[in-house]
């Protein structure tokens, strides 16, 4: 077993910018690049292994050909997708379906539970989390009547904040925000409202009926079990464990060894530089630790976010 370093895939977007280049030194396709699919086994943007015995293999190929790398995780597809999102401008007001709804209405796709770690944001930035409707009937009325200022629930956001976004939760990343996102491997998004923006001279597609179907009401803040502790070589912050993933941050100063997991671990270096098992890593490096991998040793001063799939 060896660590699997990943080549990311980039996605342009009407709301994207240049921070993926400016902050992470990636070669991006344009000045409107919105997403880095850093560790992805999704068909719409498949990561490839960079170096080592599996050099050039896609994550999807490895999933099918080398299941022991992933701890023989159940299921026919890579369960998690790791992104960095550069929102120069506001994303649409949107909502995601759960597994049951997506499976029935989106050709068997996974649903989309996701979470955000705020890497950076401009002063005074807000994001949309939830809505103000008291029940489903009011959700439908407010959407159909375009009562957006009353419907949308905004909250202030700061660097280092963490948010869990469950299916059925109305949400939107707003301009001036840089986020690392851990999510189910799904590309299903229902746009509720998009500020009447045009793309290529036409309004962007909305998904009003699907959104009304899946929005949960009244809004409830997602439960998270966050705590911080000092451990040998690092400060450990656990953000959340849900039915799909567990997400943790390690601020490393010196030498730190990450314990082996039953399933595989996604690792994103979000700050600093150092080495892992003697291999140089820096901000913007992403890799997979195989299941039951012993002796993943970090050295240096760096911060990493790790995610493990739950079964």
Collapsing DSSP to helix, strand or coil, 310 comes out as: coil
The per-residue DSSP string of 135-191 comes to: SHHHHHHHHHTT-HHHHEEEEE--TT-EEEE-TT--EE--TTEEEEEEEES----EE
How far apart, in whole angstroms, are the C-alpha atoms of residue 31 and residue 120?
19
DSSP H or E segment with residue 19 = helix 19-22
Cβ(227)–Cβ(249) below 8 Å:
no
Q: Is 303 helix (H, G, I), strand (E, B) or coil?
A: strand
Q: Which residues of 157-169 are buried (b: 16+ CB within 10 A; e: fewer)?
A: beeeebbbbbbbb
Measure the CA–CA gap between 138 and 61, rounded to whole angstroms: 46
Pairing type for strands 4-7 and 33-39 reads unpaired
Beta pairing class for 265-276 and 245-258: unpaired
**With contact defined as beta carbons under 8 Å apart, do 24 and 17 qualify?**
no
Which SS3 state, helix, strand or coil, does residue 89 take?
A: coil
Is 144 part of the annotated catalytic residue set?
A: no
Do you find a cis peptide bond into 218, omega within 30 degrees of 0? yes
**Dihedral over alpha carbons 24, 29, 32, 38 (to 10 degrees):** -50
User: Pick the catalytic residue: 53, 144, 191, 204?
Assistant: 191
Active site residues: 191
């Amino acid at each position: 077993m060896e660590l699997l370093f990943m080549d990311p895939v980039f996605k342009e977007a009407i709301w994207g910018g240049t921070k993926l280049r400016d902050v992470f030194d990636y070669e991006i396709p344009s000045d409107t690049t919105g997403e880095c699919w850093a560790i992805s086994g999704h068909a719409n943007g498949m990561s490839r292994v960079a170096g080592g015995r599996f050099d050039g293999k896609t994550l999807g190929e490895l999933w099918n050909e080398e299941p022991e790398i992933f701890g023989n995780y159940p299921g026919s597809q890579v369960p998690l997708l790791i992104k960095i999102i550069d929102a120069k401008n506001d994303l649409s007001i949107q909502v995601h379906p759960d597994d049951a709804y997506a499976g029935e209405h989106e050709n068997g796709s996974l649903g989309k539970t996701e979470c955000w770690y705020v890497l950076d944001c401009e002063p005074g930035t807000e994001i949309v989390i939830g809505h103000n409707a008291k029940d489903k009937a009011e959700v439908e009325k407010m959407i159909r009547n375009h009562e957006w200022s009353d419907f949308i629930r905004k909250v202030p956001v700061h660097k280092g904040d963490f948010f869990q976004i469950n299916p059925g939760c109305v949400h939107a990343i707003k301009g001036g925000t840089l986020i690392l996102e851990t999510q189910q491997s799904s590309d299903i998004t229902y746009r509720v409202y998009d500020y009447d923006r045009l793309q290529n001279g036409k309004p962007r597609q909305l998904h009003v009926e699907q959104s009304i179907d899946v929005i949960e009401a009244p809004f409830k803040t997602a439960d998270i079990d966050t705590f911080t502790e000092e451990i040998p070589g690092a400060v450990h912050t656990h953000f959340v464990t849900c039915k799909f993933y567990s997400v943790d941050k390690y601020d490393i100063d010196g030498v730190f060894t990450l314990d082996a997991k039953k399933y595989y671990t996604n690792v994103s270096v979000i700050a600093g530089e150092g080495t892992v098992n003697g291999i140089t890593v820096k901000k913007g490096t992403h890799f997979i630790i195989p299941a039951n991998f012993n002796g993943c040793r970090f050295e240096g001063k760096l911060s990493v976010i790790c995610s493990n799939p739950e079964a």
